[in-house]
Every structure is written in structure tokens, then in C-alpha cells.
Amino acid sequence: MTRNLNGLSDDDKAELIRSPDVQISLMQDAVNMNLAFLEKITSLIETGQKSLAEDEQAKHIQLTIPSHKSVEKMLGGVVREWSKEGEEERAECFQRLLGALESHLASARDEAASSGAARPRVLCPSAQLGRLPFEVQNRGFDCESCEEQALLYFCSEFLRHEGADAEAHRIRPFALETCNRVKANDNVRDINFPEVPVIAASLPRTRLASFTKLYDSSATRATFDAVLTNHCLDTSGNIFRYVRTIAHVVRPGGLWVNFGPLAFEQRGNDEGHGHGVEVSAEELKFAVSHFFEIKEEAYVSGLYAENARAMMQFQIGCIFFSAVRNDKPVPGIGEESDEPRMSDVSEM
């Protein structure tokens, strides 16, 4: 930007709303604001190393330096999950997931609240920045979650420690997006977050671990009343094992609700066969139908962590379904083994 703007002739510069120095200064200020936020996450990473080393499920995860793309994606995730600007984008997804959960388990939740019995248990794999578990918990369910991307995990931990005051933090996540702007300052605008206070007790603690490894044990069989999968089915190297692990943890009569694409973003390692297999929606439905009866399904177009003010945005097709667990046993999951596990590599 410095080279291109300063390379203009004096006549060209005279046509600009803002001088090159002003434009470059605004972008640098935006980048510095983002760096200040990232430095707070870095501090959490440094202080959290010991506790991770003591966690049996997390200690095998090897943290690597995050790519520029990963950092941009995380900043976009903050906008999607924890800002007023992201409310409309996440609503299509969250309303379907939470609506199906309420329809299936609201009466059980209300009965538990009046009788003092245990609340229905809900699992959110690949919790990302924790907004979905936050919404589940605030609706009176007992929620548990996990996330295997360290950068997202530590960002959610930042919100747990520093999110008590609404809109107390600011980033400018679109600082480098100079294309497709309507107004000159669109790329350097403030995003305040979180738009609601985040009390630590209202944000379920997330485990930094792979879902298919964390819940592959006899102890987790039929321990949840519902599983909500949000943009995560296609992040596993083995989607069949992912489906079976979900079936393993959901009790008969329990619920599975899914919303997300089939983009098959590969990251880390998964055990067993099926690395990188990319299935169609029809094939996914067939695999799910072995263990669940699909009650509701739809194909929905939506956005994911897009710049709301950009003139060009990418829509993605997502699969939504709500399904009830049958009583068919799940093969190959929850069978104790002495075989060594493969190491995960988590790009922060």
C-alpha cells in the first residue's frame, strides 16, 4: 500500500479523498490494534502451557506457529460469534441448531429445573470461539465442549478471563481488505466485542483436544442427551469415524443437530482409514442413517466470517439436519486399546 500510493503522480494524489500518508497511518493503527489483542492471547498461551502439559488429552497436541490466514480467520470468527455486526450472519445457523434443541429437550430441561434433577447434557464438538456453548448453557442445559485448534481455544479463554464487560475490547479485523469497499474507512472500522457480558460461569469450559480422540472411550458411551455440530463435520480427516463417535456419545432417543458445509478442510491427523475422503451429502446422510433417524433436513445458503460491508461475499451451501439416535451399537468406538495414538498437530 505504501509503495502503490506513494508511487502515484502528484496529479493522481490530488484525486484521493485522503492523502497516502493518512491512509497508510490509518491502516498501521488498525494493525497495531489487532496486534495488541493478539499479544493478550499470546500471554494466555504462555501461562497456559503448564496446564496443557498436565492434561492427558491435550499434552500430545503439538502447537505450531499460526499462519497469516489462520490469524485472519480467527479475527473474523470474533466478529461472527461475539459482535453485533456478526449477529445476522450467525443467526441462520444458531437459530436452527438451538431451535431443534429446544424442541427436543425443553420439557426435560424444565422438568429438571423444577425437580432439582440433573439437566440434559449437551456436547458441542469443535466449539470454535465458544459462542454456541455459551448460548446452550444460557438456555439452561448442561453443556460441554472441545476445540482442537489452539488459536481458537485460547481466544475463547481470553473471553472467559476478560469478557465480563460488554464491548470492552476492540479490533479492526479487515485492516488489509482494501478491495470491494463502499466507503473509504470500511476496512479500518472498529469492531467492539463481546456484545454481551461473558461471565466465566456462563461460558462452558472448552477442552483443547480432538473430538474423536477425547470421546473414544467406554466411559463416554451414551453420556449426552444431544450433540450440536456447527461447521465442523468436514474438518475431520475421517468423517465416518466422526459420525460414529457422535453416535457413541448420544444416548438412545437423544438428539444430533448439524449445520455446516462439506468443504472438507483438512487439518491435523485422524486415526483409522478414510483420511481425506470427501463424501457427498447423500453419502453423509446414508452414514448418519445407520445410527439416527433423520427428522428434519434442509439445504441452506449462508455466510461464514465474511466482511459484512464488503461488496463481494462468498456464500456457502450448508446441510442442516435434526436426527434422533436409535439403539444400534457403534462398532470401533469406545473399545479400549493399548495401541499408541498418532500425534495431533494444531496450528494456532
pLDDT tens figures, 14-42: 999 999 999 999 999 999 999 999 999 99
Q: Nearest CA to 60 among 150, 151, 160?
A: 150
- The CATH architecture one would assign to domain 56-168+199-347 is 3-Layer(aba) Sandwich (3.40)
Write down the pTM of the prediction.
0.91
Q: What DSSP state is assigned to residue 181? A: -
The continuous run of DSSP H or E covering 258 comes out as strand 250-260
CA 307 to chain CA centroid, nearest Å = 17
Q: 113-127, pLDDT tens digit by residue?
A: 999 999 999 999 999
308, three cell numbers: 459484512
How many other CB atoms sit within 10 Å of the CB of residue 139? 15
Alpha-carbon span 212 to 246, nearest angstrom: 9
pLDDT at 56 > cutoff 90: no
14, three cell numbers: 490530488
Overall average pLDDT of the 220-226 stretch: 98
Q: What pLDDT was estimated at residue 339?
A: 46
Q: Find out whether 229 and 246 touch, Cβ atoms under 8 Å.
A: yes
Alpha-carbon span 281 to 233, nearest angstrom: 11
Query: Could you write out the DSSP letters of every residue in 97-156?
Result: HHHHHHHHHHHHHHHHHHHTPPPPEEEESS-TTSHHHHHHHHTT-EEEEEE--HHHHHHH
pLDDT band per the 50, 70, 90 thresholds, residue 45: confident
Overall average pLDDT of the 297-318 stretch: 95
Residue 341 backbone phi and psi in degrees, to 5: -85, 155
Q: Find out whether 266 and 290 touch, Cβ atoms under 8 Å.
A: no
Q: Which residues contact residue 19 at a Cβ distance below 8 angstroms, ignoring those fewer than 6 apart?
A: 13
pLDDT at 264 > cutoff 70: yes
pLDDT band per the 50, 70, 90 thresholds, residue 343: very low
Domain ranges (residues) in the chain? 56-168+199-347
